[in-house]
Chain A
Amino acid sequence: GEDVEQSLFLSVREGDSSVINCTYTDSSSTYLYWYKQEPGAGLQLLTYIFSNMDMKQDQRLTVLLNKKDTHLSLRIADTQTGDSAIYFCCSASGGSYIPTFGRGTSLIVHP
């Protein structure tokens, strides 16, 4: 079945850029999402990209999609301590009801 892989941890210095990478197996995925989970809370949608796009920018966030390599990345510019959280990559295709989540990347921002 569908699989979504992402690294488990990323540590960056405050003010630097963070890049969280994700690979997925279903090349027919229609939407690809990034969710953010802050400590003690549920997941909230951070941003998404439609499969016919290569890039989406939203303030400090940049999502890059390489459909050929089924690779998705999330770049956070000028990373702040408030960005410390777990980031989940998620794919959804028209052929399945069930979205597929990666295991989540814990982003740790240190001063």
Chain B
Amino acid sequence: NAGVTQTPKFQVLKTGQSMTLQCAQDMNHEYMSWYRQDPGMGLRLIHYSVGAGITDQGEVPNGYNVSRSTTEDFPLRLLSAAPSQTSVYFCASRPLTGGNTEAFFGQGTRLTVV
């Protein structure tokens, strides 16, 4: 019963490097999203998707790209990392129908950009 799986758990990047944070869910959820969590700022929504082939921007999308080619996967790409992107990143998924639509979170990716 995997739920939402994020990889890697930790990553250190140099400024200007690119990387992809992986997120996969096995619950057939339509909705998937990426948040970043910074001290005192709570969770801020980066991008979200309501189904394969559909993505949209959240509150803080600049510097990040996403795609949703399958229901299961929702990778987050940093094209040119900046120190301001040092944060903890969480992927979450939830169903869009069926009443109670609890969100399920991954364990997080701690990213440091030096």
Contact = CB atoms under 8 A, between A and B. Distances in A.
A92 B42 contact: no
Contacts of A10: none
Interface residues of B, number: 24
Interface residues of A, number: 22
Contact of B48 (A44, A98, A102, A103): A98
B42 A101 contact: yes
Contacts, number: 51
B105 A43 contact: yes
State the majority secondary structure of interface residues on A. Answer: strand
17 contacts: A33-B102, A35-B103, A40-B108, A42-B4, A42-B106, A43-B43, A43-B92, A45-B104, A48-B100, A48-B102, A88-B43, A98-B33, A99-B94, A99-B103, A103-B40, A103-B42, A104-B42
B107 A90 contact: no
A34 to B, nearest CB: 11
Nearest to A4: B42
B90 A42 contact: yes
Nearest to A43: B105
Contacts of A31: 100-101
